[in-house]
């Protein structure tokens, strides 16, 4: 079962190209720090600006480096159903454990279109599928009743919910069943998400604070929400700072401050402003990650 803290893994760059050596070091660091899984080439992995070949390379290299020690949930989303099928099949062929498939962005499909899209991917690939519902980016919101219809398919096993609506967790639990895996897609509300029935978070901040977030998730799974809240309190300023500008830019800068990777991102994203850098540095200090 997928649960706990699963970093939405960044894709490190050097001089515009993939930095695979750093990627492999990050995999080892996350495993040592207690991350419960890895999610490469999602939004935080800069999937919109990776070529298809780069996308496939990152998934293959992460799976190889992990070597079965923790689950790998490969990003396989597209607003083109045929392309999403190809990405999911590639992830399956290299040994990923599951696929993360976002609701199709820009096209604005109906709920019936969402069912058709996810059903086609399900039928074409043998991997378990996690639905990624993020209406703020995709402009389409999968309704709980639609998710319940898809949950009847044997390999539609869960959701990464980035709606920010904690009532959704209860609705989806009632309609999809308690075994349907609900993972938060929003760091700032992940503690409350778990209290409503979630079992973990696909986290951006976990790129820079994997041990703390793994511990927080472990406390939630054990039912110790007071201990989990103490960690959330330490991390809240960092969560907010990272998302002041696009989250992957913020977290790459934070990682660069810890010497983990370059802050380099691809256009149309640009480096952080100095004001946001100051907020991130203050968040790192508040979390005890820097002095």
CB contact burial 51-66 (16+ within 10 A = b; e otherwise): eeebbbbbbbbbbebb
3-class DSSP assignment, residue 117? helix
Q: How far apart are CA 276 and CA 95, in angstroms?
A: 38
Q: What angle do CA 18, 272, 215 make, to 5 degrees?
A: 75
287 in helix, strand or coil? Answer: coil
The Cα-based distances of 122 to 23, 74, 92 in angstroms read 29, 15, 12
Is 64 an annotated catalytic residue?
no
Which residue among the candidates 105, 152, 160, 240 is catalytic per the annotation?
Answer: 160
CA distances from 250 to 31, 74, 263, 279 (A): 22, 22, 9, 10
The set of residues, in sequence order, having a beta carbon less than 8 Å from that of 165 and lying 6+ positions away, is none
Active site annotation includes 105: no
Q: Which of 105, 106, 132, 152 is flagged as catalytic?
A: 132
Going through the chain in order, the beta strands assigned E by DSSP cover 4-7, 13-14, 17-18, 73-75, 98-102, 129-133, 156-161, 181-184, 200-203
Q: Is the link from the previous residue into 100 a cis peptide, with omega within 30 of 0?
A: no
Contact at 8 Å (CB) between 250 and 241? yes
Which residues participate in catalysis according to the annotation? 132, 160
């Amino acid at each position: 079962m997928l649960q706990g803290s699963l970093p939405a893994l960044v894709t490190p760059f050097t001089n515009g190209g993939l930095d695979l050596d750093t990627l492999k070091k990050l995999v080892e660091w996350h495993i040592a720090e207690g991350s419960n899984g890895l999610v490469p080439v999602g939004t935080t992995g800069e999937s919109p600006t990776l070529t298809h070949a780069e996308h496939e390379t990152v998934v293959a290299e992460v799976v190889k480096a992990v070597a079965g020690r923790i689950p790998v949930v490969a990003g396989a989303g597209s607003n083109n159903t045929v392309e999403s099928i190809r990405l999911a099949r590639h992830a399956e062929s290299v040994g990923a454990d599951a696929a993360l498939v976002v609701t199709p962005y820009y096209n604005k499909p109906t709920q019936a279109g969402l069912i058709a899209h996810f059903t086609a991917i399900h039928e074409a690939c043998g991997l378990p599928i996690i639905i990624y519902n993020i209406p703020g980016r995709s402009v389409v919101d999968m309704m709980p009743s639609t998710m319940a219809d898809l949950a009847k398919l044997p390999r539609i096993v869960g959701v990464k919910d980035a709606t920010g609506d904690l009532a959704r967790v209860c609705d989806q639990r009632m309609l999809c069943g308690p075994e349907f895996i609900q993972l938060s897609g929003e760091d700032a509300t992940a503690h409350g998400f778990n209290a409503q029935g979630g079992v973990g978070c696909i986290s951006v901040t976990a790129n820079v604070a994997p041990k703390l977030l793994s511990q927080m998730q472990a406390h939630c799974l054990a039912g110790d929400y007071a201990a989990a809240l103490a960690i959330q309190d330490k991390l809240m300023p960092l969560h907010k700072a990272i998302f002041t500008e696009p989250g992957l830019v913020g977290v790459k800068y934070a990682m660069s401050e810890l010497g983990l990777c370059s802050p380099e991102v691809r256009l149309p994203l640009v480096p952080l402003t100095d004001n946001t850098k100051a907020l991130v540095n203050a968040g790192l200090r508040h979390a005890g990650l820097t002095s």
